[in-house]
Amino acid sequence: MKESFTPGPGRERELRTALGAFATGVTVVTCRDETGPLGFTANSFTSVSLDPPLLLWCPAVASPRHDAFVSTQHFSVHVLEAQQLQLSERFAVEARNFDGVDWREGPNGTPQISGCLTRFDCRHFAAHGAGDHTIVLGLVEKVEHTPGVPLVFALGAYGRFASSL
């Protein structure tokens, strides 16, 4: 059923549903602070610029992980493969629990998770306040890429990318 509305107080659910029609991949962003490694499931990831190579993602200001990810000088964005649904679910609820996750420490101590389609190792480029989220821009310093089937998130649910229509 077609719906038309003006976003505002009380309309958050409808806005979320409308935004959910935009299918995305799923990423886990990692960084390290003085306490240890952190992960954050995010589908706000977007490529921004090829020259210089820039990407962005948006952590919620209300998240207890927000400040660590906005202030870190180094972070890695991991694009998840279709079979990595559990990683998405884990880092949607856990920040610091890497138990059982296959990962190693990259340069600067940033966690690098194995088995992802692409990993972008980034240096903090800029951060811009944007309502209840912050836009974090990263300058991509290194890329690791393996071909595979991307995990997809749309309509509030997970799927796997299928190239046929």
Task: Please report, as ranges, the residues that interact with ligand FMN according to CB under 6 A.
Answer: 26, 40-44, 57-60, 63-65, 88, 92, 95, 153
Smaller CB separation from ligand FMN, 140 or 152: 152
For residue 102, the minimal CB distance to ligand FMN (Å) is 20
Q: Which is nearer to ligand FMN, 107 or 129 (CB)?
A: 129
E strands, the chain, in order: 24-25, 27-33, 36-42, 46-49, 54-57, 74-79, 103-105, 111-113, 118-130, 133-145, 151-154, 157-160
Q: Find out whether 40 and 58 touch, Cβ atoms under 8 Å.
A: no
Dihedral of CA atoms 156, 13, 78, 57 in degrees, nearest 10, equals 150
> Residue 7 or 107: which CB sits closer to ligand FMN?
7
- To the nearest whole angstrom, how small is the minimum distance from the Cβ of residue 96 to ligand FMN? 10
- The smaller minimum CB distance to ligand FMN, of residues 70 and 139, is found at 70
Q: Name the DSSP letter for residue 63.
A: S
**Shortest distance (Å) from residue 64 CB to ligand FMN:** 5
Task: Look at residue 118 and give its three-state secondary structure.
Answer: strand
The least CB distance from residue 121 to ligand FMN, in Å, is 19
